[in-house]
Homo-oligomer: A and B are copies of this chain.
């Protein structure tokens, strides 16, 4: 019989990750409110800042989000005049997302965020790298499972 121990909140491994994720998004709010964007919108812009003009699918692959989440989010970014949404002429099913001048410009205002977030978190570089590598391990492990 599995003991009660394993069902206590304090002994959970997953709850801290879930709580940490919400805490991080909360800390981002401080910076992102000034830019009038949300954290998921910031992630989309970050992907576009690195490589402009991507399809909804390509954004979804990188952010692990589906069209049910991205379509309305991208429409809100379009309303804020930060991105353009255009049907591809080569394949009418595909929607290409590109940055507007304002969307590209926002990158400069966002530049200071990663460093300030790191300071806010109060952890060491080593801990950060450890966290990243464990997260990647789980995500990669389970991505493999889904295909096989």
Contacts and interface: CB of A to CB of B under 8 A. Distances in A.
Given A7-B50, A47-B9, A49-B7, A131 B16 contact: yes
B130 A134 contact: yes
Interface in A6-41: 6-9, 11-25, 27-28, 39
Interface stretch (A72-80, A89-97, A105-113): A105-113
A137 interface: yes
B135 A20 contact: yes
Majority secondary structure of chain A interface residues (helix, strand, loop or mixed): helix
Q: What interface size band does chain A fall in? A: 35 or more
Contacts of A101: none
Given A17-B135, A23-B138, A139-B23, A9 B43 contact: yes
Contacts of A115: 2, 6
